[in-house]
Chain A
Amino acid sequence: MLEVRNLRKEFGDFVAVDDVTFSLPQRGSLAIVGESGSGKTTTARMIAGLETASGGHILVEGEERGPGHKRQRQRQRLRSGERRARGRQIQMVFQDPYSSLDRRQRVGAAVAEAVALHQRLPADRLRARVAELLDMVGLDDRQAAALPKALSGGQRQRAAIARALAAEPQILILDEAVAALDVSIQAQILRLLADIRARTGTALLFITHDLGAVRHISDDMLVMQAGKIVEHGPVATVLADPQHPYTRRLIASVPKPGWIPRRRMDPAAAARLP
């Protein structure tokens, strides 16, 4: 359903994303794993339309999701109708549930606004749809009537997910969406996302540095390093039998019983760091 071909992003002389190609099937779940500077977030932002690509193609159901490259960028800005149509294809949930909601808008109203943007519904059906979405993410009436600041981080992230689902997107991009949450809350949100995928068929593109979360939520994974894909395959295969040295290094860095932290960086590499 989503096809990314030879995607590239340059910031001046710096190549942030270099020749990235992958596809995400309908109802699929793909993780892009990498550390800071790997290009994983830039890749996600290009797919969501928040950054323009320097080259390559992004296709959703076979249609180019321009303005992906220069010729199309010269066209006029997207009209609001087109923008809404794109919103029904792809929605994104960000890392920080504290800054991604309007602090003066009640959570129920934020979800209602997102539903109304995509569907013309009479008031009673709009209310029912909002209640359905809030129920799906596990927020009750009291929380729906609250301002974001009255909610915990996990509840805010639930609100952000409900708002993203209002558009009934085919693809939900989650950019480090559980990284800022407490451990016991991360598990709740991961279970919620798995449940949403099973119930609605929304495909998930999970951007993360957390290999444990990947094991739980994704079927396939890409490992990115310095803008390039270095490994790509089913999650269980990659984690059990990593081929690329960098993937091995990532897995070896995860604490587990018997793990002893080691310095692996040679001094010459350390000297090249900024």
Chain B
Amino acid sequence: MSATPPLLRIDGLGIDLPLDGEPRPIVHRADVVIPEGAAVALVGESGSGKSLTARAVLGLLPAGARLHGDVAFAGESVAGMAPERLRRFRAGEVAMVFQDPRAHINPARSVGDFLIEGLTLTRGVRAADAVRKVTGILREVGIADAERRMRQRPHELSGGLLQRVMIAAALAAEPRLLLADEPTTALDVTTQEEVMAIIAEAREARGLALLFITHDLELAAAVCDRIVVMYAGSTVEELPAGHLRERAAHPYTRALLSSRPSVFEAGADLRSIPGRPLSGFEVPDGCAFSDRCPRVRDRCRSERPAPSAAGDSTAACHFPYTAPAEEAGCHA
């Protein structure tokens, strides 16, 4: 064990949820490590368990959830936090930005009230100081006329502006870790670029670590240092973002990359993955991806592959790719 634990370590996390009164595994095994100040993407399709894993970081799981493994923040187990400690942890050390800002802001109160509430209620900041502080943060996230915006109500703001407000609210708490769950999925592409740029600048200025949850591998690779790919409730691959295109070892990672139609490569062949993504509770005995995998062999159907490190990456596959990928998708 190293002397300083990483900022976040998710270690063999499993989550069971009651389905029809019976606990069923939704997350089988998630492993994520985020060093202080680093950006890690958690990438997956529906049912992969990526959002639930992020919620487990905050200790925000549905009633009846059962946890295996551990989530540790700076070496401290989140599951072991007493209620008062957990409250301080959520209010000050991690902050979350969601896909749909409208679902996470009180529509009846002004944007300003929403922004200063966290500061005045949980940190005892005086109202005037809180206003000054959030006004500065709003400017920083590209909202020039902050005073006017603070008097407005959420419905008066476009989705892109409201997402900036949510980021400002997250930054106001001065967290060490930002959890962003598909923060740009509901936005236009040009607005997505603005919002991702704002998150990147804020991280730079504060040394803020990021757990970025997304379905978009290209976006993940562009804004994060490392990529964790999840499928049907398990981490299937973990690798440096720069290795994604050429050195991904897991067949699912490669298949996901080549099933995205490219804007930039003419005549690229679109290779679809047969079947549909599974949820954690539907997974058969062997490898969860075996039914859809082009490299499947008998062993894959009977024995679940454990994560295994190779160089700077880890993949959970019996028969990982070892040769570099052909420059993905540029052959007709």
Report A's interface with B, CB cutoff 8 A.
35-36, 152-155, 182-188, 190-191, 209-213, 215-216, 236, 239-240, 249-265, 267-268, 270-271, 273-274
Contact = CB atoms under 8 A, between A and B. Distances in A.
Contacts of A252: 193
A150 to B, nearest CB: 13
Contacts of A263: 142, 193-194, 197-198, 201
A261 B204 CA distance: 13
A183 B144 contact: no
Given A185-B276, A263-B198, A190 B270 contact: yes
A257 B222 CA distance: 6
Contacts of B263: 211-212, 215, 239, 251, 254, 256
Nearest to B145: A271
A274 B190 contact: no
B233 interface: no
22 contacts: A154-B276, A155-B276, A182-B46, A183-B215, A183-B260, A184-B255, A184-B272, A188-B274, A191-B270, A215-B263, A216-B261, A250-B189, A254-B263, A255-B219, A255-B223, A259-B222, A260-B222, A261-B192, A268-B144, A270-B144, A271-B145, A274-B158
A187 B259 contact: yes
Interface residues of B, number: 51
A20 B40 CA distance: 44
Contacts of B256: 183-184
A274 B171 CA distance: 23
B65 interface: no
Interface in B254-272: 255-256, 259-264, 266, 268, 270-272
Which applies to chain A's interface (DSSP): helix, strand, loop or mixed?
A: helix
Contacts of A259: 218, 222
Interface string B159-171: 1110000000000
A185 B215 CA distance: 12
A136 B183 CA distance: 37
B193 A262 contact: yes
Given A187-B271, A252-B193, 14 more contacts: A36-B159, A183-B45, A183-B216, A184-B277, A184-B292, A210-B261, A212-B263, A215-B261, A215-B266, A253-B193, A258-B222, A259-B218, A260-B200, A274-B158
A216 B258 CA distance: 13
Contact of A274 (B157, B196, B245, B292): B157
Given A182-B46, A263-B197, A264-B194, A273 B161 contact: yes
A186 B142 contact: no
B285 interface: no
B158 A186 contact: no
Most buried by A among B193, B259, B277: B193
B221 interface: yes
Interface string B17-53: 0000000000000000000000000000110000000
A267 B193 CA distance: 15
A182 B189 contact: no
A251 B273 CA distance: 26
B129 interface: no
B144 to A, nearest CB: 4
Contacts of A185: 276-277
B120 to A, nearest CB: 27
Nearest to A251: B263
A212 B261 contact: yes
Contacts of B191: 35
A122 B160 CA distance: 54
Contacts of A270: 142-144, 161
Given A253-B192, A255-B222, A264-B190, A273 B260 contact: no
B156 interface: yes
A177 to B, nearest CB: 14
Interface in B208-241: 215-219, 221-223
Contacts of B272: 184, 187-188, 190-191
B236 to A, nearest CB: 13
B218 A255 contact: yes
Counting from the closest, the 8 A-B pairs by CB-CB distance are A187-B272, A35-B188, A212-B261, A261-B196, A187-B259, A261-B197, A267-B144, A184-B273
Contacts of A213: 261
A35 B158 CA distance: 13
A267 B268 CA distance: 38
Contact of B142 (A215, A236, A250, A265): A265
A268 B273 CA distance: 45
Contacts of A36: 159, 188
Most buried by B among A35, A153, A255: A255
Most buried by B among A182, A261, A263: A261
Given A183-B259, A187-B270, A261-B200, A256 B222 contact: yes
A35 B184 CA distance: 14
Nearest to B327: A257
A240 B267 CA distance: 13
